[in-house]
Each structure stands twice: as structure tokens, then as C-alpha cells.
Amino acid sequence: MADYPVHEITLGLPSFLLPVSDFSDVSNPGIGFFDINYKVRVNPYLGFDFETGYNYFVPKQTESVNLKVKYNYSNIPFFIGATYSVLGFKKTFSPYTGIRFGFAFVRTHLKNEVLISPDSVRVEEKKISGAKFALGLNFGFYISLIALNFSYYNIFTGDIKNQYLVFGIKYRIPVNE
């Protein structure tokens, strides 16, 4: 049995992102292209971690008689948090749960096309970027060196909270076990 602390790196395969609540009105599902987590396990059940990645949501377009709106969204989250493994990190199978706090660099691109007449269209574009407070909750199952992960993230951006679910598979790499 390894002495503690034990260090671990987790690499996420592309994950599926599903917008929920108000965010689903302006965003389509997305892909988490890159996910990396560094965890320090302080005992067989508890670990503290840092997590980052890149999330891209497929642009969504809505249309009415005189208006076409296209919404494009991506973020790069930076979280610190804690993970609790119910049966222990070293078990072949163990459920786990965790909480994350941090911020996300958010990039939003909004494009409105207003039909003024049959021959005239006014285009309005708005790009917003910045760091926003974020909260994440996750649970899943460790199966040997694989983690099946289900997460909920809420990035507080103002009127529309960017809430989405993440379904992904991660590969665990123990560093000093």
C-alpha cells in the first residue's frame, strides 16, 4: 500500500455536453475536447484536485419572420475541488462523488440578422469574453483505471446561467503508487 499522498493524473476522452435549463434555449449539445485532472489523494477515500479542459457547444440558430439569431459558445474551466471514493480509489470498482469550485473563461458570439426589407439586412454582432464564477458537481464509477463520469456545471454569466451536463470517460494514471 502506497504512503500518502498519492498523485494521479486523469485524462478525459472527448465527452458529451448537454445544455439544460435556459442554456438549452440558446445552445446545442457540445463536445468536451480536452480534459485533464491532477489529483492528490490524501487517504484511500479522499482526494483534492485541479481540473481544466476545453468545451465547445455546436452553434444554435433560431429564425422568425424578420430575425435570424446565431449563438456560439465555448469555455475553458479551471476548478479546484474534492473527490470522495466510496469504496476507495484502489478498488477495482468504486462509486465516487465530488464538488468543484472555480471559474471559466467564457467566449460568447451572438449574431443577429434583421430583415429590414427584401433587399436589406442589418447584421449586429456581439462578442463577449471573460472569466465567470463556476460550480460543478460530479459522480461516477471507478472501474480499474477507467472513470465513468457524470457532471453538472453551472457557470454564472448573468441573465442566462450556462448550465450543462457532462457524460464522459476518463483514463486514470497513478503517478507514485
Which residue in this structure is represented by grid cell 429564425? 63
Cα dihedral sign, 17-18-21-22:
positive
Q: Indicate the pTM of the whole model.
A: 0.88
Q: Are strands 146-155 and 30-41 parallel, antiparallel or unpaired?
A: unpaired
Per-residue pLDDT, averaged over 159-167, amounts to 86
Q: Which residue has the higher pLDDT, 1 or 169?
A: 169
Cα 17 from Cα 167, distance rounded (Å)? 7
Mean pLDDT of the chain: 91
Binned at pLDDT 50, 70 and 90, residue 2 comes out as: low
Tell me what pLDDT residue 171 has: 94
Q: Which residues pair with 35 in a beta bridge?
A: 12, 53
75-99 residue pLDDT tens: 999 999 999 999 988 888 999 999 9
Binned at pLDDT 50, 70 and 90, residue 26 comes out as: confident
Tell me what pLDDT residue 166 has: 95
Domains defined for the chain, CATH in brackets:
6-63+77-106+132-174 (2.40.160.20)
Per-residue pLDDT, averaged over 29-55, amounts to 94
Q: Which residues pair with 30 in a beta bridge?
A: 17, 57
Which residue in this structure is represented by grid cell 478525459? 12
For residue 12, the tally of other CB atoms under 10 A from its CB is 20
